[in-house]
Structures are given as structure tokens and as C-alpha cells.
Structure 1
Amino acid sequence: MYHSWLDRWDERRARRGEEGKKATDLILDADRAFPGPRKIASIEEFCVLADQAVADPAFFDEPSESDQGFERRDGWLIFPSDIATDIAANNLVWAKITESGSFDQAMVIFHHWNAGARNRQIANFFSRRGITVVEIAMPYHFERSRPGSVHADYMLSPNLGRTVQSIRQGVLDGRKLIRWLKSEGYRDISVFGMSLGSWVAGLIAAHDPAVSKASLFLTAGSLADMVWTGRATRLIRDSLEPEIELTDLRRAWGPLNLENYVHSLARPDLDLHIVLAKRDKVVLPELSERFMQRLKGAGARPNILELKCGHYSLAMPPYILLAGLSLKRFLSRADKSALRP
């Protein structure tokens, strides 16, 4: 009875999230994802470039390592993104810093798609326990929102190239922030991502050796499969389905598929923490399970917590309390690198 009520609650929440959204046309926009002189006019050509990006270890590397442009302002860190888009507000990154008074550990939070506010409760909870919390705005969210938009439609959409560009921008922004934190003297850096934010956090953890811990809530491997099957992305699928097969979408968004980087995520100096919802209709449990199996097959030993709730009802007691306590225990564990002789 209770779980049926939870399912209905999640469905009502999903319907509210659809307000203001509409189906649009599939657009390649390959030059946004893979800048270059070559003009791409077909899905197959786009997929070839995506395959090359998956094989390129530098695709998610920062284009520069300049320390210029960082500004501290009343608890905020503001800095320019290394990817320039046609939305001026999106090109300036805002991150809210909640200091802990210690330089032992910092955690960077990547919120969910269309988040309406940062989470002061999480930031205060962990800062009181010696962890500085930095809540970064992902592309087209919060202070970086596109003027006139009612949701972050430019970060995840039927525009294949802009979606790749946006996720890559989020990764590069996060890596730039992490480099700044290291320069400030923070020893251990953790990343924490929720839903779409877990893809950004996971990609950063896979590519940045400065990250020692990664906590991924409501996650899976293939972003293409999540969009194709998930309740929250139904309108995106409606836009894509007449023009592209799922097999091609998997290739087109291959650079964003965490399953392609499981060996990097399984590196011995990275701890992984995963929280999943067994009744999730947005990130289907079978997609998450496939990702867990791929991680384990690569040698990773993730700390996995599965809760009997839905995607949105994870935010309700007792589930959010169980997830928060699990995250606290995970972050309190000794760093692997500190244990090695």
C-alpha cells in the first residue's frame, strides 16, 4: 500500500516536471560537440566523431590550466568556463562555498537536471563535520540559466551536439574548480552527483586523478538509454524516435556513457559510493544494475545502497536520511592512498 502511494507521488512529481516542456526537432549540431572544419550532415558521420571522442583520452581534459579569472565574493567562487557558448550567462560559472574551517576534505556537488535551488541543509550538515562543500551550477542552471527558459532544456535535449557540449562543459568546469581547490590546499577531493549530475560527477571521477571519492545517486551508465526509457525524458524521446534508432543514439552519446570508462572508475585510488532507487521510473533499475555489473567486471568494488523508493521520493524520509547517513559513512572512511605503504 505504502509503495503504491510512493509510486503515485513520484508520478505526480514527474507530471509537474513536464510543465513548460515540449517536443522539438532532432538537431545534429556536431560542431558544438566536436569543433572542426568538417561539415557533418548525417547521423552516421556524427557517430564516427563520437566514437573517436570515446577513444580520445584528452576529450575531457581542460583546454588550459590558467589560474586567472577566479573571484571570491561573499561565499561564492566565480570563474569563466573554458567552453564558450552562445548564452552569455552560461559562460560564467558560479559555485557556492560552505567552509568547514578545515583543508582536509572538500566535496563538490553536482545537482540534478532542472534543480530549482541548491541544498543548504546538505552543505551545512557536512561543513559542520569538517568537509567544505562547494555547490557548482551546472550548465544552463541557476545563475547560468538561459534567459526566458523555464527549464534547462539546453543541457539535455534532442540537440545531439549541444547535449554533448553541455555535459562536457560541466565536466571541464568541475575539473577547473577541483584544480582551484587543490591549489587552495585541500587534500582530499570528493564529487557527489545526483541523477544527471551523477553523469557529470562520474565523468570527472573517471578522468581526474585528483578525485579520491565519488558518490553517485540515482545513476546508470548509458545516458542514451536513460533518456530513451526514463519518465522524465519522455518528450526528448518523442523528438528523437522518428529520426534516430536507440543503437545510433548510444553511439552519438557514447562519450557521455559511464560504461565506456569503467576501467578508469575502477582505479585503485578511487572509492565509489552508489545510491539507487528500486522503484525508479526515471533511471530504470535495470540500467543501473547493468552499470554496477560493468563496474564490478572492471574490478571496482562500489559501496552500493539500494532503497525501496522512486526517483523523486528519495528526497522523502526515511529514504533521504538513510542515503545521507550512508554518504556520511562513506566520506568518513580513510582514503585508500593514505593506507598504502
Structure 2
Amino acid sequence: MFKNWYARRMYAWETELTTRDENRIVRPVEWGFEWLQDFVESAGLHEKIFGSRNPADLNPHEAEDALAALNDAIVQRSEAFYDYQRPNDFQLETRHPELFPTNVRPETLKRDAELKQMAIDGKLEAAQFLRFTSPIRTPYPENDFVNARWYPAPAEKMQGKPKQAMIVMPQWNADAFSHNALCSLFNRFGVSALRLSKPYHDIRRPAELERSDYAVSSNIGRNIAACRQAVVDIRCCMDWLEEQGYEQFGVLGTSLGSCYAFIASAHDARLRVNAFNHASTSFGDVVWTGQSTRHIRKAFEDAGLTQERLRQLFGATSPVNYMRRFAAQPKKVLVVHARYDLTFLEEYSLEVLRSFAKLGIDYVSKVLPCGHYTTGETPYKFIDGWYLGSFVYSAFKALAQGRVFTSPQDDPRLAASSAD
């Protein structure tokens, strides 16, 4: 009886949190071929995908077939799709941090105003931010100037071991203060951190938007391009870290950030420590079934699409299509999922774990007794922080000591954690 009551309570709380924002916009479906045109041309795919026709001249059925074929081609050529030219304009910028809220709730706007006033009054400490031009360009200059808040670990904490760093990618629509506490926690372990602003988020968000809608929307090509840019930006951050003498790297992604982090790690062997905070297999399945993307599903339903067809149209951004590439390099992995998740349904998180086990990936599984949005609420955010922090600490410690495990069973501590 208690179990049923608890489940009902969690689902009700989760629903309350995912429906309180009223600025979600239903936009018409767009195929977005223009966002991928540079890759189509550089890879010589135009004739294969479109024949002799202009993508703008295709009818809806032809456009859907062409986009599905383009997704397949990207997956087959993913090394080229997620490749990039190393930036040459890395710089550290010092400024007062800002919130960049994505909702208009009174308490959020009050917090934003308080932080701005603190900066004016000299009561808010300035912070350092890594800035550089993303190798993947969009029509939005503010989006293309990458932003990552820099959390260097104290020198005394880094002594006697390789220089280690985490790249942290928060959830979709995160404000600029989300996950900063995790970065400070990593500093205590002697691990530096770059808290990376995802494409179209916080300072990178175009002025026309209240939310980070261009990262996930009913414009499919733009979604794929945003994922491509995020993956490349992660890899560029490691380039800068290497210039600073860092040797061992990890990535932590939450929700949408976990999708980006996974694909980056699948294409870059430098990312040895991987923490996926909420994980799923298919981007299209999450968009279709997730409570927080119900407005996007509405647009696809209005266009006559189905979940199965949408899964094909998001193949290029789906972790399931890069599992073997991810497993090809030794990595230490944490997967955290929530039992009562209405955004990343648990069945999809369990698919991730089954795939990892089948491929012999060294992973640890942790389950939160809450949902997706309630992960950010007390007491669950502290449980989640403990899982993430303790894993990053132990994984980097093992790397520093030169220990490599091919499966969880090779280390009794990891085997015990995997059974939780």
C-alpha cells in the first residue's frame, strides 16, 4: 500500500513541476535541412539524399524519407560529422555571473534581480569563463561564442597525481547557476571543472527566446545541429584543458546534457570518466513520451508523425546508435536514473543498462527514488550529488593509480554498486 501511495505522490509531484511553466510554445514542424547543408555538401551526400532536387521542393513524405536517410548517413559517417577544426581564440573572461532564467515565475525573477543588484553593489564575486568561437556555426553569433565557467582545483589538491578535469553539462533549459555546486565539489577532490553552457542556453540564448527552445524543438535539423555543436564544444574544451597541462578527463551530463556527453565520449577517447545523470537510448522516444516535451510532441502529432517515425528522424542524436563506438574504448561509467521519471521513462534507462552490460562496459548503476524534475528537490538532489561526487572521486583515483577494469566484476566495490 505504501509503495502505491509513494508512486502516486511522486507522479503527482513530477507532473506539478513539469506543468508550472506556461511559456512552452507549440511551433510547426520544420525539417531543417538547411542546418545540415554544410555536412551534406562536404560529404558529397546531396545526390544520394535528394537526387537532383532542392530540399525545399520536396513534399512532406519525400522530405521525411530524405531526413531519415540523412540520419542514417550521419550515423555511418559520425566521425566526420562530429569532427572539427581546433579553435585558435581561447580566452578567459572575468565577469559577474548572471542567472539567465528560463521561466517567468516570480521567485525566479526575484532571484535574478537580487543577483544583478549584488553585482552592482560589489557583493557578488566575479568568476572566470572560458570563451571561444565554436567550430560549428549558426545564424546566431551569441550562440556561437562558447561559454564555460571555469572552476580550477586548488594547486595543493592536485599535487602528486595527474591533472584531472571534468566537463559538466546541465539539463535542458538550465539556468547559468545549475550544477555549479557540483563543480565546487569536484574541486575538493582536486578535480578542476568546466561548467559548459549548452548551445542556445544562458548567455548563448538568442534574445528572441525566453527558453532554450532551439536546442530541442519541432525543427528536426536544428536539433541535430545543436547536438553536433554541443559535442564539438565539449571536445574543444578538452583541447584548451590540454593546453593548460591537464591529462585525464571526464564528462558529466544531466538529461539532455547526458545525451550530448555520451555522443562526445563515443567520439573522443580522452573522456575516460563518464557520469550520465538520467539516460535514455533514443532521442525521438524521449521527445515523444516525455512529459516536459509534450508541446513538441503536439507539433509532430499535428504533422501526422508517429513515435516510430520520429525515432528514425532523430537517429543522429540517439545514443543507441553509438553504443558500440562508445564501448570500443575503456571508460568508467556511472548511470543514474529515476524510478518515477516521466521525462526519461525508466524503461529507456533500463535499455541503456542492458546495452552496457551486453557490451561489457564498466558501469555503475544508481537509482533515485524520485522522478526527473524532483531530482532537483530536497532530499533527492543531495542523494544524486552523493552518487555523482563519490563516483567521480573514485573513478579519477583509479585512473591516477593506473588501474583499469574491463567490467564491474573486476572490482568488488563497483560490483556491489552495480547491484544497487
In the superposition, the TM-score normalised over structure 2's length comes to: 0.77
Q: Which of these two proteins has the greater Rg computed from alpha carbons?
A: 2
Which is worse superposed, 98-107 or 155-164? Answer: 98-107
In structure 2, C-alpha distance between the alignment counterparts of 1:250 and 1:323, rounded to whole Å: 29
In structure 2, C-alpha distance between the alignment counterparts of 1:175 and 1:233, rounded to whole Å: 28
Aligned pair partner of 1:175 in 209, 213, 235: 235
Aligned to 2:370: 309
Aligned to 1:259: 320
In structure 2, C-alpha distance between the alignment counterparts of 1:236 and 1:129, rounded to whole Å: 40
Q: How much does 1:154 deviate?
A: 0.6
Aligned to 1:6: 10
Correspondence list, 1:161-310, <5 A: 161-243=221-303, 244-310=305-371
Which is worse superposed, 203-212 or 39-48? Answer: 39-48
Aligned to 1:81: 134
The 8 Å contact of residues 176 and 197 in structure 2, kept in 1 or not, is answered as: no
Q: How much does 1:339 deviate?
A: 2.2
In structure 1, give the amino acid aligned to 2:29. L
Aligned to 1:16: 20
Count residues in correspondence: 339
Structure 1 residue ranges, 4+ long, deviating more than 6 angstroms after superposition: none
C-alpha offsets along residues 94-131 of structure 1, whole Å, 9 cap, x if unaligned?
A: 11001103362111111101112323322222212211
Aligned to 2:204: 144
Aligned to 1:45: 66
- Aligned identity (percent) is 27
The 8 Å contact of residues 327 and 360 in structure 2, kept in 1 or not, is answered as: yes
Question: 2:36 matched to 1:33?
Answer: yes
Aligned to 2:115: none
Q: How much does 1:12 deviate?
A: 1.5
Aligned to 1:56: 77
In the superposition, the TM-score normalised over structure 1's length comes to: 0.94
In structure 2, C-alpha distance between the alignment counterparts of 1:268 and 1:162, rounded to whole Å: 30
Which is worse superposed, 69-78 or 116-125? Answer: 116-125
Higher helix share: 2
The 8 Å contact of residues 123 and 133 in structure 1, kept in 2 or not, is answered as: yes
In structure 2, C-alpha distance between the alignment counterparts of 1:247 and 1:219, rounded to whole Å: 19
Task: State the superposition RMSD in angstroms.
Answer: 1.9
> Which stretches in structure 2 are left out of the alignment for 5+ residues?
47-53, 95-127, 406-420
Question: 2:393 matched to 1:339?
Answer: no
Aligned to 1:107: 166
Which is worse superposed, 57-66 or 321-330? Answer: 57-66
Aligned to 2:148: 95
Q: How much does 1:3 deviate?
A: 4.6
Q: How much does 1:316 deviate?
A: 2.3
Question: 2:101 matched to 1:70?
Answer: no
Aligned pair partner of 2:214 in 154, 158, 182: 154
The 8 Å contact of residues 62 and 176 in structure 1, kept in 2 or not, is answered as: no
The 8 Å contact of residues 141 and 152 in structure 1, kept in 2 or not, is answered as: yes
